[in-house]
């Protein structure tokens, strides 16, 4: 059983990795050894201002890529925690008042079992009375009739007790259904947030493609030792990375919203 639980947990981790909000967002650039050598030669041949600009833009690109990777880690960690929390919260919602309902259902069953001998006795006495009447046995009829009346009164009280317990159960079930619906509705506030995350992921994917295309252009102009084109390419790549990081920051904020929604539902569950 413990082995199966570990497999289940492993499966969950793999699944979360596959659906991670930053899977599509991973993007980075680094010169190959040959391209870096060409870049250094171009920088060395450039005037002082251009060389400084080339160095600063390259350094800025490395820094902003590191920030992007940091966002990935922060988003993934929060996303995994949220997914685990959602599973736990959904399980708790499903189990709302479960013990109470089981207890009330058991009370109904026990009441029916408790009064079953009385109901059987009442049926038996009625049958005996019916037979006595059919044989016109006034003595036996006279003996049985009071017993039937007493049993009838007891049966009515027993049925009233059962109906009372059934009514309590029915009311509890209705209340539980209403509560569960309310909690699930609260948790469903996550859905539009997920839509926003998906939209941000799509935007990141498109921007990543632009970044990758520009990285290819950068390598070409570096090999040609075109410092002006290199600076322009760096500028565009930096702009793309800033867009990506802004989108990742949005995703992280959406994950925080998700965490808040889950916490709100958990607070409601805590008072149950």
123-139 mean pLDDT: 95
126-132 mean pLDDT: 96
DSSP secondary-structure letter at 95? T
DSSP secondary-structure letter at 272? -
Q: Distance of CA 249 to CAs 58, 188, 197, Å?
A: 23, 23, 11
Dihedral sign (CA 259, 194, 246, 220): positive
Dmax (CA) of the chain: 131
Determine the pLDDT at residue 2.
40
Question: Which residue pairs, CB below 8 angstroms and at least 24 apart, start in 218-221?
Answer: 218/29, 219/31, 219/32, 219/35
Place of tokens 């189990």: 95
CA distance 176 to 102: 12
pTM: 0.82
Banded model confidence at residue 271, pLDDT cuts 50, 70, 90: confident
Q: Do residues 107 and 57 make contact, with C-beta atoms less than 8 angstroms apart?
A: no
Q: Do residues 79 and 255 make contact, with C-beta atoms less than 8 angstroms apart?
A: yes
Q: Which tens digit of pLDDT belongs to each residue from 148-159?
A: 999 999 999 999
CA distance 31 to 57: 13
Place of tokens 């009447």: 133
Q: Do residues 164 and 148 make contact, with C-beta atoms less than 8 angstroms apart?
A: no
Tokens found for residue 36: 């870096």
CA distance 220 to 226: 9
Q: Which tens digit of pLDDT belongs to each residue from 8-66?
A: 444 444 444 444 444 444 568 999 999 999 999 999 999 999 999 999 999 999 999 99
How far does the chain reach from its first CA to its final CA, in angstroms? 31
Cite the DSSP H helix spans in the chain. Answer: 2-18, 33-45, 48-94, 98-134, 138-187, 190-223, 227-270
Is 17 exposed, middle or buried, given 0-12, 13-18 or 19+ CB atoms closer than 10 A? Answer: exposed
CA distance 100 to 107: 11
Q: Which tens digit of pLDDT belongs to each residue from 228-248?
A: 999 999 999 999 999 999 999
Is 145 exposed, middle or buried, given 0-12, 13-18 or 19+ CB atoms closer than 10 A? Answer: middle
Spatial CA neighbour of 253 closest among 202, 197, 190: 197
């Amino acid at each position: 059983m413990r082995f199966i639980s570990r497999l289940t947990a492993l499966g969950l981790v793999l699944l979360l990795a596959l659906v991670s909000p930053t899977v599509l967002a991973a993007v980075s650039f680094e010169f190959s050894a040959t391209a870096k050598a060409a870049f250094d030669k171009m920088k060395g041949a450039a005037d002082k201002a251009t060389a400084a600009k080339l160095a600063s833009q390259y350094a800025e690109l490395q820094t902003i890529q590191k920030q992007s990777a940091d966002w990935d880690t922060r988003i993934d960690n929060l996303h995994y925690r949220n997914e685990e929390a959602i599973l736990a919260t959904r399980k708790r919602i499903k189990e709302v008042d479960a013990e109470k309902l089981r207890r009330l259902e058991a009370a109904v069953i026990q009441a029916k079992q408790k009064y079953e001998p009385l109901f059987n006795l009442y049926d038996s006495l009625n049958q005996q009375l019916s037979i006595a009447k059919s044989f016109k046995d006034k003595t036996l009829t006279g003996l049985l009739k009071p017993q039937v009346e007493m049993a009838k009164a007891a049966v009515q009280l027993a049925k009233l007790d059962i109906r009372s317990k059934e009514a309590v159960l029915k009311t509890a079930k209705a209340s539980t259904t209403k509560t569960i619906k309310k909690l699930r509705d609260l948790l469903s506030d996550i859905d539009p947030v997920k839509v926003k995350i998906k939209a941000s992921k799509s935007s990141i994917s498109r921007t990543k493609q632009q970044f990758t295309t520009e990285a290819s252009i950068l390598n070409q102009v570096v090999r040609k030792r075109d410092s002006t084109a290199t600076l322009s390419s760096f500028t565009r790549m930096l702009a793309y990375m800033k867009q990506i990081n802004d989108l990742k920051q949005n995703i992280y904020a959406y994950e925080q919203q998700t965490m808040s929604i889950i916490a709100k539902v958990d607070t409601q569950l805590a008072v149950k």
